[in-house]
Structure 1
């Protein structure tokens, strides 16, 4: 893709993100054909928004796919309230663990070791990824267009902190969703089988690109139970097995 096509695609996606709108797939001339195209559109969207990356969502690469997208600082919340776009009367979230880096991992010539990355993690939190797409529900966007759009991320809500050792052992856990009369138990399994593995991959990938994890950034590494629908404006409690409970009320943006 040339720079004009990348910019046009980014304008479309950035405009929809700001307005909370969804729309059709990118026109053929603007659609990414390679991973590099999709990541270039991601970067152009970030530049247009003027919104720094407060974190990353990532997963293990597979079948020629990269699971990588910025989480914008202005969309990261704490406490008992988060704000999200409402679709079909619900807010969509995914249960995650978030690794937070107070001092970051600056770019350097050599790769960081596992021990160095763990030493740089300042805290781990129960978290909810806020889910939304800038595309209409149908047809389902091709992976490269979804990647260009940030892989359905619209934000991140950070809950209580937990011990690092407990987070590293959390390959699976029961999840409990309580809201109003709803009381649902879900089988939670990390998609990589190891919540740390995608973080190690991300740190290495960013280093290869001459980047790093910046001070204060949070990294989520995979959903334990897929998309969960919450009712906006109604308090909810999400239990993460023995790791703790996240209390939140999602308010419409």
Structure 2
């Protein structure tokens, strides 16, 4: 008997229409990264073309992956919906001035830096459509855009932040409560590591990493849960400030 092929439209429809989080075992799961990306493409097909933004990450097997940032706000502040289980990440994002199309010889870190137009402090909102969130089967979580539920592109940072943000004081408050206070750290050590992985995937879409695209590079604090709605403030190095509201 021939194996039943995966239909990305069924999973995409379930993810788009979800009002409550769904158990992972109630959904058809992709079996390859390509199938997970096909689901992402369907769920984001009617999203605005601009601004275009993506998060970069590594699969458990070390393969470069991405997820569309939706909605993506470019403003001084933004309001996001809150519900139990929502978490946030403070991140470094970049906007490209020069496209980095796929090529066989790949890109050096210096070439990627030269393609950067601006560096920003960013806020990613995490609210998976899956009950198990990031603990779901990985390809299902990837199809769910790696749990992304929104992004706020914040103030510009000096280009040197790409090299020097590690160890910088980072504080996050919700209302009057400090919910994170520690040195900024990227899981890979280098904030450009996962972007470089993606840039050097020769099989990524031809139009990926286009000029003007916004890429968020990974958390500086891990996923920080929000126990309630309220006003959120992120302060990096006691100087760079980003604010957002979470409304129940």
Structure 2 length-normalised TM: 0.83
Conserved 8 A contact 2:102-2:201? no
CA 177–209 in structure 1, closer or farther in 2 if over 3 Å, else same: closer
CA distance in structure 1 between the aligned counterparts of 2:63 and 2:105, rounded to whole angstroms: 25
Q: Deviations over 1:129-182 (max 9, x none)?
A: 111101124894211110111101111111110111122222333321234332
CA distance in structure 2 between the aligned counterparts of 1:149 and 1:223, rounded to whole angstroms: 18
CA 50–166 in structure 1, closer or farther in 2 if over 3 Å, else same: closer
Equivalent residue runs for 1:205-244 within 5 Å: 205=201, 208-230=204-226, 231-234=228-231, 236-241=232-237, 244=239
The RMSD of aligned alpha carbons is 2.8
SS of residue paired to 1:122: strand
In structure 1, the gaps of 5 or more residues are: none
Corresponding residue for 1:59?
57
Structure with more helix by fraction: 1
| Aligned mate of 2:188, from 192, 196, 200 | 192
CA distance in structure 1 between the aligned counterparts of 2:33 and 2:214, rounded to whole angstroms: 23
| Aligned mate of 2:11, from 9, 22, 46 | 9
In structure 2, the gaps of 5 or more residues are: none
Count of paired positions:
242
Are 2:144 and 1:149 equivalent residues in the alignment? yes
CA 111–139 in structure 1, closer or farther in 2 if over 3 Å, else same: closer
Shift of 1:33: 1.8
Conserved 8 A contact 2:99-2:211? yes
Conserved 8 A contact 1:239-1:246? yes
